Amino acid sequence: MSRSLRHGGRAVVFVDGVRTPFGKAGPTGVYAETRADDLVVRVIRELLRRNPALPADRVDEVAIAATTQIGDQGLTIGRTAALLAGLPTTVPGYAIDRMCAGAMTAVTTTASGIAFGAYDVAIAGGVEHMGRHPMGEGADPNPRFFSEELVDGSALVMGSTAENLHDRFPHLTKERADAFALASQQKYAKAVANGQIGPELVPVATRSAEHGWGYATADEPPRPGTTLEGLAGLKTPFRPHGHVTAGNAAGLNDGATGCLLAAEEVARELGLTAGMRLVGYGFAGVEPEVMGVGPVPSTEKALARTGLSIGDMGLFELNEAFAVQVLAFLDHFGLADDDERVNPWGGAIAVGHPLASSGVRLMTQLSRQFAERPDVRYGLTAMCVGLGMGGTVIWENPNWEGFTE
């Protein structure tokens, strides 16, 4: 019996997920002169192309996340991207902001609507063009945050919050963080070579006033030549003699993701294949200055609400905003740094972390891993979130060999 019905509503399935190749933010990045909303449009169109059994007018909602909702990431991007992608004008859309967990929240919000019966089918995803819109662009934090000491002064600098996590857990050394970062690069390279990463990528036409048109077909951030010696010698920009470097953290990136969600009965009716079933989810808050520990309480909440344990999880897709953040999660739950169930195809340290888009990258990879692993029943996607939060979503593998008719 599937646990995905514990919430009492309709079962919700993750049908398909795609993403653009991720680029490096900045003037030399592959998407430097490409609009953020055009990245989302490419993703939506590809979801429909790959799932021709789905009539476009059966899409009930489009939820797209962006952390910096300004410029070409503003103007209710879920609606504008839906129109630009050619969906019928009857299909509504909206924008979501939960910083790094934006796309994750787009999924949980629309999935909840499906479970409740408000929707049958939804598209959820996220975009971040950090080259055009640096994190926090145009923000005006209330001075009370600091004048009344509501948060520590380091809370708005994500790298500083990672250094704070090293302070709180001194056994999470820089050496452990560097070793984890190297493994991420190596696992990603192996997954690409094996063809495990690549089929979900949507090639994107790019433009440059100087070089003309281009075609993005592969992720730009990975550093295949990474070594422990090289990582050890990198600068620690957030603190003199610190622990956090450009090598053991995700970079600044551009990219978009999207996925197709449906009620299981509707997916069956339309002939859509279910990649995963939603079991449950949880979001939690922590002190903003140690935001990286957020996935710990969010995972505890999700496990408690689904009646599952960490031992039931056969696969973990954890967002590698910083190596220390993942290590804190692993230590808390008694998992080894090199546990084979954790990020088996590498993570954000290698592939990049375009903030609000990353949650659906985790889900897409987990879904593809489920297809390879009928021995695994449950998997988990989790991430830390700026301003002191964590998010966790638990999924069930419909290919699990233990299911009986």
Q: Write out the catalytic residue numbers.
A: 100, 353, 384
Residue 149 is which amino acid?
E
CA distance 318 to 169: 19
* SS3 of 324-349: HHHHHHHHHCCCCCCCCCECCCCCHH
Plot region of 228 (φ>0 → left; ψ -120 to 50 → alpha; else → beta): alpha
* Residue entry with tokens 């790298």: 159
Residue 126 is which amino acid?
G
Burial of 229 (0-12, 13-18, 19+ CB in 10 A): exposed
Pairing of strands 204-208, 93-96: unpaired
Alpha-carbon separation of residue 88 from 84, 204, 205, 267, 405 (angstroms): 10, 23, 24, 20, 38
Residues 6+ apart with CB under 8 A from 346: 183, 184, 185, 186, 187, 188, 189, 190, 191, 197
Q: Which two tokens stand for residue 250?
A: 């995700």
Give the helix/strand (H/E) hosting 393. Answer: strand 389-396
Does residue 185 sit in helix, strand or coil?
helix
Query: Nearest Cα to 128, choosing from 206, 25, 207?
Result: 25
* C-beta separation of 47 from 16 below 8 A: yes
CA distance 223 to 392: 28
Total length of the chain = 405
Neighbours of 310 (CB within 10 A): 14
Q: Which two tokens stand for residue 77?
A: 């991007």
* C-beta separation of 292 from 161 below 8 A: yes
